[in-house]
Structure 1
Amino acid sequence: MSTLSKPKHIGRNISRIRELRDMKQEALAQAMGTNQQAISVLENSETIDDAKLEEVAKALGVTAEGIKNFSEEAVLNIISSHDDSTLNSTINIQPTFNPLDKVVELYEEKEKLYERLIQAEKDKVEYLEKIVKGK
């Protein structure tokens, strides 16, 4: 008895990878310089030529081999193998500065620029008055 396995559906793999990357067909189409209908046809294709697969892989930010060998089970295993503390520590971002200090700093910088602008205008008026008096 033959144990031939069903070949992987490359278009379906492309679709799942695109979805996992939170990308719409329109965004992938734009990245590839084509339209949404072409992406739909591509995702419904069981096989894709290597040149087109390389182009899709580049637009998705993966390798062609990654698309060919994509397995949802592997993705789920990777996600479930991380405990919650690992996921939380990668997402938790602590700024190294106080945002209010930055606001105050920007306000003070704006005031200094405004004062320089006023001084430049005063200098210009003074210069023009000298020219007018000189005539």
Structure 2
Amino acid sequence: MSTFTKPNHIGRKISRIRELRNMKQEALAQALGTNQQAVSILENSETIDEDKLIAIAKVLGVTVEAIKSFSEEGMINYFNTFNESDNNFNHYNTCTFNPLDKLVESFEENKKLYERLLKAEQDKIEYLEKLLKGK
């Protein structure tokens, strides 16, 4: 009985990451300074030299290690963790107050401040008028 191990096909991983980034082969080719056909050949290659892999990782915005260890199963598991914790997320983001009430409160506070400011200005004017009449 022989055990068949799936080859570590770097080209397919690059292709899948590029697709997940919503990037076309032409865009990747332009960023790498090559053409679309070269990117197609690259994505069909089972192995890629380290220098090219570093350049590709930089363009895709991931690390070389992320490309090497990329797996579809891992991505599915990663995104499923968001669905599982969705209830906890909503629990922590519920409002315990009415935002409109807070807005009305702030308007009332501003109104009181303006009334006090107006009263202070009126008191100043009265004081200055008394000083002018006293001369």
Q: Which TM-score band (shorter chain)?
A: 0.5 to 0.7
Name the counterpart of 1:72.
72
- Partner of residue 21, structure 2: 21
Cα offset, 1:72, TM superposition: 0.7
Moved over 2 A (4+): 1-7, 83-86
For structure 2, the residue ranges without an aligned partner over 5 or more in a row are 91-135
TM-score by length of 2: 0.59
User: 1:54 — aligned with what?
Assistant: 54
Structure 1 counterpart of 2:81: 81
Equivalent-residue separation in structure 2 for 1:63 and 1:9 (angstroms)? 17
Bigger drift between 77-86 and 49-58 goes to 77-86
Q: Which runs of 5+ in 1 are unaligned?
A: 90-135
The CA distance in 1 between the partners of 2:60 and 2:54, in whole Å, is 10
Q: CA deviation at 1:30?
A: 1.2
The CA deviation string for residues 29-57 of structure 1, in whole angstroms up to 9 with x for no partner, is 11111111110000000000101110110
* Counterparts in 2 of 1:84 and 1:30: CA distance versus 1, 3 Å: farther
Q: Which residue of 2 is the match for residue 111 of structure 1?
A: none
- Output the aligned Cα RMSD: 2.1
Deviations 1:85-134 (A, max 9, x none): 85x98xxxxxxxxxxxxxxxxxxxxxxxxxxxxxxxxxxxxxxxxxxxxx
- Cα distance in 2 for residues equivalent to 1:32 and 1:85: 39
The TM-score normalised by the length of structure 1 is 0.59
State the structure with more CA Rg.
2
Residue matched to 1:37: 37
- 2:5 is aligned to 5
Residues paired across the two proteins, number: 88
Secondary structure of 2:73's counterpart equals helix
Q: Which residue of 2 aligns with 1:119?
A: none
